[in-house]
Amino acid sequence: MVLGFIWARSTDVRAHIPDLVPHHSISKDAEIYDDIQWSNFAYVQYVTNTNYLCNSLMILESLYRLGAKADRVMMYPNQWKAPTDDGMDASIESQLLARARDQYKTKLVPIQVQTFERGDETWKDSYTKLLAFNQTQYKRIISLDSDATVQQPMDELFLLPPTPVAMPRAYWMDQLFLSSQLVVLEPSEREWRRIEDTMRIDTESGFDMDMLNALYNNSCTIIPHRKYDLLTGEFRSASHIKYLGVDEPWDARKALEEAKFVHFSDWPMPKPWLKADPSVVEQVQPECKKTEEGEDCADRTVWLGLYQDFSERRQQVCGRSYDDRRTFRRSSLFRPSEYNPRYE
């Protein structure tokens, strides 16, 4: 049975906790999170190559700056040299790993990148994300894709009722499908063995998202996509019924304000760390709407602001010279989605 949960709407501190969490366990005289052992939980990033290292560092910086309470973990290729400091004589990988550890208080976990030759070459390393199921030192993990922006902490998701996996629906798709851009999971040897077995014998699964759907589509807890899985492409859409789920007026600024996790998905616009041709920006940017008061450009303003914010933070977190020193394989970072993305 597919389970869901409902958010409380009161101004009480319990409004930040799913209604399925028993209220009798919450003290009225104490802060809601006081008795929680946050070291049991972690936000996890995975890195398979240098191209995505900065993206993950940006996610970790945001979680640190915003005061997220759970641990921060970065899984990185075990062939990279373990950082001793972030001195300029170290490799760029060591410098940024050291920055994650020292500035953003991140626990570094070396891993063997899970590479499979079948399926799309672009995403042959994407199974590495699933190694989060094997991080059994934690009771619960939130795995976040790195081509995104964290707007607010998501600590409340660690307090969901027990379930092996919780994910949002890929609301932009016509068929029911889970989005793996944000995954709340309970690490366990049992689930990791299931995933290992599936990776080994299921030749049909092309991506981590396929595998998670094959294993959990009919059993996982569903996280609301509102707040937790907003696509930047939503600001370009003519209709917002799939995102809003109800007949209510679309308000771009309100949507961004309530969102906690925003994922960049705007084909043919490249990902935000790749320089876009001005003609592509002109073509793709949201249109202004004509109103009685004049033009309403809120969608465009919010959309452009997300890209500008990403660019500025990238320079602040990783340094202006980072991208100049990287050699991007554009085909692996710039894939079509036509705003009906399956894997974006």
Q: In this structure, are residues 261 and 231 in contact, taking their beta carbons and an 8 Å threshold? A: no
* Confidence at 291, pLDDT banded by 50, 70, 90: confident
pTM: 0.83
| Domains of the chain and CATH, by start | 37-224 (3.90.550.10), 228-333 (no CATH)
Pairing of strands 71-77, 106-111: parallel
* Confidence at 112, pLDDT banded by 50, 70, 90: confident
Work out the percent of the chain whose per-residue pLDDT is above 70.
78
Report d(CA 37, CA 84) in Å as an integer.
Answer: 29
* pLDDT tens figures, 140-186: 999 999 999 999 999 999 999 999 999 999 999 999 999 999 999 99
Which segment of 15-24, 98-107, 274-283 scores lowest on mean pLDDT? 15-24
* pLDDT tens figures, 134-150: 999 999 999 999 999 99
* pLDDT tens figures, 227-278: 999 999 999 999 999 999 888 999 999 999 999 999 999 999 999 999 899 9
pLDDT at 47 over 60: yes
* pLDDT tens figures, 28-39: 334 667 789 999
Report d(CA 41, CA 147) in Å as an integer.
Answer: 22
Q: How many residues does the chain have?
A: 344
